[in-house]
Every structure is written in structure tokens, then in C-alpha cells.
Structure 1
């Protein structure tokens, strides 16, 4: 039995405009599809299409986990970095982590979410023991990320 080998991209979408519209996984997938077709052509989309999926997206931290076949991960990575907007919203994609297993992508996503929440808290100048909604978000997002299956 042959197993499909994947690569997992952990991508942060940094909003560059003053607008803050919420994104979702379907919009990211559609934007990635258009980016692959526009920048690499229909043949590249044919190669990537069967394996490309957005497995997780957090609208709070704008972090996505994207799965793609190992042989074509460079096309997907290129398409992500060439994105300039999704659903009319200007943004800057930042590939935070590339992994060969979903487990390592999950660990990187959990760690990245904690770093982003720490940045949010630092900007808000909250005391160390202050309880806010980010604690519930971290618990919920950790459960969602850990529940992801290949």
C-alpha cells in the first residue's frame, strides 16, 4: 500500500489595510486556486488541485494550515507568497512553518497562536494575571488544531 506524502504549510495572513474583514477557509482556497492558475498556469493547477486543502483557519489570528502533495508544495508555496488580496482585502501572506507531518504543523500552529496572543496582550498593556477572552480562544483553538486529521 502506498501512502500519500504531504507537506503542511502554516501561513499567517497579515492585514495590510485599515479594513478588517473576516476571512474563511473557502475564500483562502479560492484565492490560492486563482493564484496558482494566474502565476503558474492550468497545468500547475491540475497537478496541485487534487491535494490542496485548507485544513484549518483561525479568523482571530489569521493563521491557516494548508495541505498539499509533497511533489507540488513549491507551487503552492509560491502561490501563497504571490497573493496580494483575498476577497478584496489586501494582505501579506507569511509562511511561518513547513512540515512533513500534520503533528508538527499542529505543534507549530499552537505555538504561533500563543505568540500572537502574547503580542495582542502586550499591545493592550494588560497585567500578567489578567483574565481575558484570549484564554478561552487559546483553549478552543488548541482543541480544534489537535483534532485535525490527515
Structure 2
């Protein structure tokens, strides 16, 4: 029996407005919020534009968006191990999703979903720390980020191959 080997790509999509990247800005509830289906479509179009039908033929069957958080703009993408360079290149060359400009930042690439999950949880904590620093609230201030971190941790850990 042959096992299907994957690469898991953890990507952060940073929104760009008026020529500057907006770190720590959430797109939740705005007209330009994206979802996993829009990311998959934009990634497909990027592969077709940059690598042609041959590139899409190599990547198309194995490319899936397993997780996306609209609050932190974190995405976990699964692709076959042999073609992960094509998907990574298409991500790097991606400029917009549904007409909104984004800067894709590949945070982590791993061979197992477990390591991608751990990297996603750690990166979510970093992003939430950025949000808290931008808010400049006192240390004892209770916010909804703790419940968000707990819920996203459960969602990410529930992912299966």
C-alpha cells in the first residue's frame, strides 16, 4: 500500500490598502472579507496564470484549503509533496483575492498536519498579541481574544488529513 504524501502550507494573508500592508487589521464583517473557497479559486487562477495548464494538472487534484480564519487571515493549504513548490510559487505570486489586494506570507511548511496545527496555533497567539498591543489596553483588561484563541485552537486541532 502506498501512502499519499502531503505538504501543509500555513499562510497569512495580509490585506493591502492604499499601497501599505495593514498588519493587525482584521477583515471580519467588511465587504472585502474572504473565505476558503475564494482563496482556492484565486490560487487556482494564480497557478494557471504563472504555470499554465501543466502546472494546474500537477497541482489541481491535491490542492485543498483545509482551514481559514477570517479574524487572523490564517490559512492551511494541503498539496501533494512533489508539487508543493508549484503551489508555494503560485501563493507567492498571488496579488489579489476577489478584487482585494493581499500580501501572502508563507509562515510554515510541514510534512504533517500536526506540525501545521502547532504552527498555526502559535501564529494565532502572535497575531492576537499584535492585536492586543495595537489596542493598548491595560494588562488586566478582559477581552474576547481568550475565547477566540480557545475556539480556534479546538477548530485547528480537529482538522484531520
The TM-score, its normalising length taken from structure 1, stands at 0.97
Q: Counterpart of 2:77 in 1: which secondary structure?
A: strand
CA shift digits 1:101-125 (9 cap, x unpaired): 0000000000000000000000001
How far, CA to CA, are the matches of 2:145 and 2:8 in structure 1? 26
Which of 154, 157, 160 is matched with 1:143 structurally? 154
Which of 55, 62, 65 is matched with 2:73 structurally? 62
The aligned residue for residue 43 of structure 1 is: 54
The aligned residue for residue 88 of structure 2 is: 77
Q: Counterpart of 2:132 in 1: which secondary structure?
A: helix
The aligned residue for residue 17 of structure 2 is: 17
How far, CA to CA, are the matches of 2:139 and 2:115 in structure 1? 29
CA shift digits 1:51-102 (9 cap, x unpaired): 0000000000000000000000000000000011000001100000000000
What is the count of residue pairs matched by the alignment?
150
Deviates more, 1:117-126 or 1:17-26: 17-26
CA RMSD of aligned residues (A): 1.1
The TM-score, its normalising length taken from structure 2, stands at 0.91
The aligned residue for residue 102 of structure 1 is: 113
The aligned residue for residue 30 of structure 1 is: 41
How far, CA to CA, are the matches of 2:63 and 2:41 in structure 1? 11
Structure 2 unaligned regions, length at least 5: 19-26
Q: Counterpart of 1:138 in 2: which secondary structure?
A: helix
Q: Counterpart of 2:72 in 1: which secondary structure?
A: coil
Q: Counterpart of 1:137 in 2: which secondary structure?
A: helix
Shift of 1:130: 1.6
The aligned residue for residue 123 of structure 1 is: 134
Structure 1 unaligned regions, length at least 5: none
Deviating above 6 A after TM superposition, structure 1's stretches of 4 or more consecutive aligned residues are: none
How far, CA to CA, are the matches of 1:8 and 1:130 in structure 2? 36
Shift of 1:129: 2.5
